[in-house]
A and B are shown apart, each in its own frame.
Chain A
Amino acid sequence: MHVPEDAVVSSADVALALASAASQNGVQIYDRTSVLHVMVKKGQVTGVETDKGQIECQYFVNCAGQWAYELGLSNEEPVSIPLHACEHFYLLTRPLETPLQSNTPTVVDADGRIYIRNWQGGILSGGFEKNPKPIFTEGKNQLEIQNLQEDWDHFEPLLSSLLRRMPELETLEIVKLVNCPETFTPDMRCIMGESPAVQGYYVLVGMNSAGLSFAGGAGRYLAEWMVHGYPSESIWELDLKRFGALQSSRTFLRHRVMEVMPLLYDLKVPRWDFQTGRQLRTSPLYDRLDAQGARWMEKHGFERPKYFVPPDKDLLALEQSKTFYKPDWFDIVESEVKCCKEAVCVIDMSSFTKFEITSTGDQALEILQYLFSNDLDVPVGHIVHTGMLNEGGGYENDCSIARLSKRSFFMISPTDQQVHCWAWLKKHMPEDSNLLLEDVTWKYTALNLIGPRAVDVLSELSYAPMTPDHFPSLFCKEMSVGYANGIRVMSMTHTGEPGFMLYIPIEYALHVYNEVMSVGQKYGIRNAGYYALRSLRIEKFFAFWGQDLNTLTTPLECGRESRVKLDKGMDFIGRDALLQQKQNGVYKRLTMFILDDHDTDLDLWPWWGEPIYRNGQYAGKTTSSAYSYTLERHVCLGFVHNFSEDTGEEQVVTADFINRGEYEIDIAGHRFQAKAKLYPVTSLFTHKRRKDDVELSDLHGK
């Protein structure tokens, strides 16, 4: 890809230019001054203690690069910024016989893991090697800084690939090999935003050596964030709050960055799982599930089963699921989905973030009513799906809340919400000793019993009737399962399929699991994983926060008017914005697409981010997709916009606008026809097996 406007700038010059421009506008710059720590009062930044005295301030931005981690920890209330440095080498040479021109394009050879560009008529070439050398694990070590020497043997593979790509460079004379450490984050994305613990403490670091190219945009978003309280784009993927203290172990970081750095030039295949820093948080059932063939993925440090490899499956073949086409787990997930539809499956979903909010009086209800868009003043035992919205009406979190008693609520949010949601609640909750917020994520193991026979399994284990008459949908009861008492049973499955979520105090987890599996045997029970859940969820048009929903999408834009109670009798955050949107209409609409002429076996699969075309015009991008084993089609979710053909301006999107369009989804340059739906396919809910379809194999245990 040749970018004619490509340019090379020197980071030192850019920094100087910015500094002098800032000085002209009255900014004072202190050089040769080091920050000792940031002063904080009542969770708010008040100033900076430097080696030359104090400076008062309202905001502090930690842009300390590879030293940001240490600086963050120097606070009394530490700010954990997961970063680790690796040595990074690049080569400088004398000019070519005909010196390179300043407009020589920068060359990146991802296969060779190198970049090459002009440097004073010669070349500058470095790369991201397969075997990085992490450095400064123990912090700023003077010895290591002095020892940052050229390591030619380490550079040899990169030099080889440079000379393989451009053999003529052989005669160039070396100036030197520079060793210049760069920082890396646990997921290769940079880190920005406000600290969850200290207000006014902002962070902008971890650019994986692309700092200069990111600086413009990142600076702008951060400035908006500081001025308005939020940036103009949804940048959850970069938010500091996607990490917690759990990603801050030096050992974890050291191991993880060794995996991250080579990834910079690797092909990123869908559903990538990191191999390092694993098995940190696990469910008590981890060993049991692992022994039964579970394959694992990790979210926020928590191990979650993807799918279960049947004992007779060739394991070697399965290790190569790195493809953009039909992956090798296809059949495995199919049988899990089928079992969810026809019998019953268990999915360990313990990773979900779980909070309990209790109060002595009505404080809990009052604050929740203010923070959530749905009406939470429901009878005890009811579960409410609701968004936690920001002022703009966008989703800060999408969760399910069960009312355990008049004064206590149980809140279930996505796994990676643990830090963000906590910070949001803390920020908005009044200082009131009668109001208690507790993170109980670690206290419960969550088992999802999905399928029509879940009812039978549970009623057999509890000697209680579980039919819809006794246990209606979206209901929560404490009951006994097996010998274990006090299990929180909820009639929902996060998929739209019938079944129950069991929230089990962890010491009972193994017992309940064993009971469920042994009683479930005669109902054809089996383990299932998140891939099956995902397929079930997406075919039912269940959007997921962090994938489909973000801080800039409102409930009205994804057909969730029913989860917003504008007239619940009190104000809530985002209400004004939603009222206005209701009046003006929405500018984008979450839509479900069913691919028509897509060959699952032969065509590239949609994964996410595929362009959506409406009547041949670009109208948005998909946000997630899955193969629906019921529809036998691929299903994509994505937002449809209405861009004016003349000006490109965004216009109102109506249901009619969606329905009148002809749609195509572009997968790697090939457009596939797609049917747009605003509501889930109803036939999915009435799935019934015809009598004459029954086979002998249905009598086998699964």
Chain B
Amino acid sequence: MPAPTQLFFPLIRNCELSRIYGTACYCHHKHLCCSSPYVPQSRLRYTPHPAYATFCRPKESWWQYNTQGRRYASTPQRFYLTPPQVNSILKANEYSFKVPEFDGKNVSSVLGFDSNQLPANAPIEDRRSAATCLQTRGMLLGVFDGHAGCACSQAVSERLFYYIAVSLLPHETLLEIENAVESGRALLPILQWHKHPNDYFSKEASKLYFNSLRTYWQELIDLNTGESTDIDVKEALINAFKRLDNDISLEAQVGDPNSFLNYLVLRVAFSGATACVAHVDGVDLHVANTGDSRAMLGVQEEDGSWSAVTLSNDHNAQNERELERLKLEHPKNEAKSVVKQDRLLGLLMPFRAFGDVKFKWSIDLQKRVIESGPDQLNDNEYTKFIPPNYYTPPYLTAEPEVTYHRLRPQDKFLVLATDGLWETMHRQDVVRIVGEYLTGMHHQQPIAVGGYKVTLGQMHGLLTERRAKMSSVFEDQNAATHLIRHAVGNNEFGAVDHERLSKMLSLPEELARMYRDDITIIVVQFNSHVVGAYQNQE
């Protein structure tokens, strides 16, 4: 991914920059001007405290680059990525999974999913995960939006599903697994991951992560009273989220004798990540959300049109209930300082997140950990910096809000995406574009001649028109890629404009973040037949 942007970087002239800025990003201007005087910077999750930039990007920050940029001679020179180049950028991270059919019969309510990511940060701070629970039924899918680096989102993407899966396991299975560990037998596999080759897992931390997870299930075993056997998915999701965040925090406090690991757990704890996770089991769909990523259900109405049903609430300043919650959780005298400029303590956009111990630990604890921590941490301005008006921590929680939805045959798909998508596209457009893409030809009512006088010529005209409409859909084999193409390349008429797409994708790494955020999308497709069959059974 970085290759093409670096390649074209010298070609971008200043005037071209302003052109791109003027056309491609007009929508951000509108939206940003009212929110902050620091126009481009406010696209970042943190306000521009200099210390933050050094932590995220030690080398240089964007405005340094921008002034350098002005030194280029202003000879206008056009350049475009060719459609194949655009496609190779868009498709570099795409992944599709189809739930295997056995004997022509697919018993899962999930047909499969498409996912993709388009980086704006370098390296990308978004993560995604998808896995099938092997010891319980159901499938887990999640998007994770990291900030202040990718350490936390990476750790959450590797670990969270294990915590959820363990929380869902019946007592006997937990015992069996624990006994297997104890006696050195082979473990029951818990998750079947569906990963893109770029989605990596940390080898070094694997042992540490396992130990924390084991402690968790040991506690679950001990806590079992043997009374209720029913496992409540909602509760399991909440427990898993909270437990993982707690473990992240603990691991950073305890440290690790291995200096690499020690640094890693600190980076994980001091960076942050939001999470939006869906658990699908038959017709039961649970969405657990922490932060401002979003889950959107695509519903096809009887007339074939599409409507969007939001299955998660954003945890940010636009959410009245979140504002209320924060005010209630802290003393009255903090009411004005808890949320400033639509940010938590004037700094953080999402109001719930994993990691971010700067908003959770007491000042004492923060200082103690930093002082005893490795030099890299000690030298880092960001970590040392204590948020202003920091009186009654914790200000931040990883506890998710869980939404339950019972799937109906008209619920065709679920879009999980980080705010990078929702900032650029309205939810109704997202659902319409995916819906039309997934149903392909069929969203247009089939033509039937029955009874009318139609000539071959008229029919031919009609068909050619219909085909032209469809041709753009067939460019992508992946619904998420198709959505990204629209998100980045849409013109004011809602159609993909190649020129615009090409410009947006050839922005140099350092600039890309000003025009868009990392975008991560998972589109889960449901099997209406199976969902319908569930319905009929009852």
Known: A137-B104, A160-B464. A150 touches B449 (CB 8 A): yes
Select which of A149, A151, A152 is within 8 A of B459 by beta carbon. Answer: A152
Q: How many whole Å from B444's CB to the nearest CB in chain A?
A: 8
Please tell me if the beta carbons of A163 and B460 are within 8 angstroms of each other in the complex.
yes
Query: Which residues on B sit within 8 Å (CB–CB) of A160?
Result: 460, 463-464
Query: Which residues on B sit within 8 Å (CB–CB) of A628?
Result: none
Please tell me if the beta carbons of A149 and B446 are within 8 angstroms of each other in the complex.
yes
Q: How many whole Å from B277's CB to the nearest CB in chain A?
A: 35
Q: Which of B451-469 contact A (CB under 8 A)?
A: 453-457, 459-460, 463-464, 466-467
Q: Within 8 Å of chain A (Cβ to Cβ): is B220?
A: no
Known: A152-B463, A159-B463. A172 touches B447 (CB 8 A): no
Query: Which residues on A sit within 8 Å (CB–CB) of B3?
Result: none
Known: A153-B441, A153-B463, A156-B463. A162 touches B446 (CB 8 A): no
Q: How many whole Å from B373's CB to the nearest CB in chain A?
A: 50
Select which of B454, B457, B464 is within 8 A of A156 by beta carbon. Answer: B464
Query: Which residues on B sit within 8 Å (CB–CB) of A163?
Result: 456-457, 460
Q: Which of B423-482 contact A (CB under 8 A)?
A: 441, 444, 446-449, 453-457, 459-460, 463-464, 466-467
Cα–Cα, bound, A612→B459 (Å): 51
Please tell me if the beta carbons of B104 and A153 are within 8 angstroms of each other in the complex.
no
- A133-156 near B? 1/0 per residue, CB < 8 Å: 000011000000000011111011
Please tell me if the beta carbons of A162 and B463 are within 8 angstroms of each other in the complex.
no
Cα–Cα, bound, A172→B454 (Å): 8
Please tell me if the beta carbons of B449 and A93 are within 8 angstroms of each other in the complex.
no
Cα–Cα, bound, A174→B467 (Å): 20
Q: How many A-B residue pairs have CB under 8 A?
A: 59
Q: Which of B444, B456, B467: most chain A CB closer than 10 A?
A: B456
Cα–Cα, bound, A160→B456 (Å): 10
Please tell me if the beta carbons of A172 and B463 are within 8 angstroms of each other in the complex.
no
Query: Which residues on B sit within 8 Å (CB–CB) of A159?
Result: 456, 459-460, 463
Known: A163-B457, A170-B456, A174-B456. A153 touches B466 (CB 8 A): yes
Select which of B104, B448, B460, B464 is within 8 A of A170 by beta carbon. Answer: B460
Please tell me if the beta carbons of A173 and B454 are within 8 angstroms of each other in the complex.
yes
Query: Which residues on A sit within 8 Å (CB–CB) of B446?
Result: 149-153
- A394-409 near B? 1/0 per residue, CB < 8 Å: 0000000000000000
Q: How many whole Å from A576's CB to the nearest CB in chain B?
A: 53
Q: How many whole Å from B468's CB to the nearest CB in chain A?
A: 11
Please tell me if the beta carbons of B455 and A173 are within 8 angstroms of each other in the complex.
yes
Query: Which residues on B sit within 8 Å (CB–CB) of A171?
Result: 455-457
Q: Within 8 Å of chain B (Cβ to Cβ): is A35?
A: no
Cα–Cα, bound, A392→B534 (Å): 65
Please tell me if the beta carbons of A153 and B459 are within 8 angstroms of each other in the complex.
no
Q: How many whole Å from A693's CB to the nearest CB in chain B?
A: 50
Please tell me if the beta carbons of B449 and A170 are within 8 angstroms of each other in the complex.
no
Q: Which of A457-501 contact B (CB under 8 A)?
A: none
Please tell me if the beta carbons of B467 and A169 are within 8 angstroms of each other in the complex.
no
- B72-95 near A? 1/0 per residue, CB < 8 Å: 000000000000000000000000
Please tell me if the beta carbons of A150 and B456 are within 8 angstroms of each other in the complex.
no
Q: Within 8 Å of chain B (Cβ to Cβ): is A176?
A: yes
Please tell me if the beta carbons of B456 and A152 are within 8 angstroms of each other in the complex.
no
Query: Which residues on B sit within 8 Å (CB–CB) of A173?
Result: 453-455
**Cβ-closest chain B residue relative to A153:** B441
Q: How many whole Å from B37's CB to the nearest CB in chain A?
A: 53
Query: Which residues on B sit within 8 Å (CB–CB) of A170?
Result: 455-457, 460
Query: Which residues on A sit within 8 Å (CB–CB) of B447?
Result: 150, 152-153
- A176-189 near B? 1/0 per residue, CB < 8 Å: 11000000000000
Cα–Cα, bound, A138→B448 (Å): 27
**Cβ-closest chain A residue relative to B453:** A173
Q: Which of A400-447 contact B (CB under 8 A)?
A: none
Please tell me if the beta carbons of B466 and A174 are within 8 angstroms of each other in the complex.
no
Cα–Cα, bound, A156→B467 (Å): 9
**Cβ-closest chain A residue relative to B449:** A174
Cα–Cα, bound, A161→B441 (Å): 21
Report how many residues on chain B are interfacial, defined by Cβ distance under 8 Å: 18
Q: How many whole Å from A148's CB to the nearest CB in chain B?
A: 13
Please tell me if the beta carbons of A176 and B449 are within 8 angstroms of each other in the complex.
yes
**Cβ-closest chain B residue relative to A151:** B446
Please tell me if the beta carbons of A93 and B463 are within 8 angstroms of each other in the complex.
no
Q: How many whole Å from A93's CB to the nearest CB in chain B?
A: 7
Q: Which of A72-113 contact B (CB under 8 A)?
A: 91, 93
Query: Which residues on B sit within 8 Å (CB–CB) of A153?
Result: 441, 444, 446-447, 463, 466-467
Q: How many whole Å from A124's CB to the nearest CB in chain B?
A: 13
**Cβ-closest chain B residue relative to A177:** B449
**Cβ-closest chain B residue relative to A170:** B457
Q: How many whole Å from B337's CB to the nearest CB in chain A?
A: 61
Query: Which residues on A sit within 8 Å (CB–CB) of B444?
Result: 153
**Cβ-closest chain A residue relative to B461:** A170
Q: How many whole Å from A591's CB to the nearest CB in chain B?
A: 53
Cα–Cα, bound, A372→B454 (Å): 68
Cα–Cα, bound, A138→B456 (Å): 35
Cα–Cα, bound, A409→B467 (Å): 63
Query: Which residues on A sit within 8 Å (CB–CB) of B455?
Result: 170-174
Please tell me if the beta carbons of A138 and B449 are within 8 angstroms of each other in the complex.
no
**Cβ-closest chain B residue relative to A93:** B456
Q: How many whole Å from A50's CB to the nearest CB in chain B?
A: 29
Query: Which residues on A sit within 8 Å (CB–CB) of B454?
Result: 173-174
Cα–Cα, bound, A171→B441 (Å): 27
Query: Which residues on A sit within 8 Å (CB–CB) of B104?
Result: 137-138
Query: Which residues on A sit within 8 Å (CB–CB) of B448?
Result: 149-150
Cα–Cα, bound, A658→B467 (Å): 62
Cα–Cα, bound, A199→B104 (Å): 33
Q: How many whole Å from A414's CB to the nearest CB in chain B?
A: 35
Cα–Cα, bound, A163→B446 (Å): 21
Cα–Cα, bound, A159→B466 (Å): 14
Q: Which of A221-269 contact B (CB under 8 A)?
A: none
Cα–Cα, bound, A160→B457 (Å): 9
Q: How many whole Å from B68's CB to the nearest CB in chain A?
A: 42
Known: A138-B104, A152-B446, A152-B447. A169 touches B464 (CB 8 A): no
Cα–Cα, bound, A91→B460 (Å): 13
**Cβ-closest chain A residue relative to B466:** A153
**Cβ-closest chain B residue relative to A176:** B449
Cα–Cα, bound, A177→B467 (Å): 18
Query: Which residues on B sit within 8 Å (CB–CB) of A151?
Result: 446
Query: Which residues on A sit within 8 Å (CB–CB) of B449?
Result: 150, 174, 176-177
Q: How many whole Å from B294's CB to the nearest CB in chain A?
A: 34
Q: How many whole Å from A249's CB to the nearest CB in chain B?
A: 12
Q: How many whole Å from B89's CB to the nearest CB in chain A?
A: 23
Cα–Cα, bound, A150→B463 (Å): 13
Cα–Cα, bound, A351→B347 (Å): 71
Query: Which residues on B sit within 8 Å (CB–CB) of A93?
Result: 456
- B334-377 near A? 1/0 per residue, CB < 8 Å: 00000000000000000000000000000000000000000000
Please tell me if the beta carbons of A174 and B459 are within 8 angstroms of each other in the complex.
yes
Query: Which residues on B sit within 8 Å (CB–CB) of A162?
Result: 456
Cα–Cα, bound, A149→B456 (Å): 18
Q: How many whole Å from B23's CB to the nearest CB in chain A?
A: 36
Q: How many whole Å from B65's CB to the nearest CB in chain A?
A: 41
**Cβ-closest chain B residue relative to A150:** B448
Cα–Cα, bound, A174→B452 (Å): 9
Cα–Cα, bound, A420→B453 (Å): 56
Cα–Cα, bound, A170→B444 (Å): 24
Q: Which of A93, A162, A173, A177: most chain B CB closer than 10 A?
A: A173
Query: Which residues on B sit within 8 Å (CB–CB) of A172?
Result: 455-456
Given contacts A153-B441, A159-B463, A163-B456, 4 further A-B contacts (CB under 8 A): A152-B447, A159-B456, A174-B455, A174-B456
**What are 14 A-to-B residue pairs whose CB atoms are below 8 Å?**
A149-B448, A150-B446, A153-B446, A153-B467, A156-B463, A156-B464, A159-B459, A159-B460, A170-B456, A170-B457, A172-B456, A173-B453, A174-B455, A174-B459
Interface residues, chain B, with chain A CB atoms under 8 Å away? 104, 441, 444, 446-449, 453-457, 459-460, 463-464, 466-467
5 tightest CB-CB pairs across the interface, nearest first? A170-B457, A156-B463, A152-B447, A174-B454, A172-B456
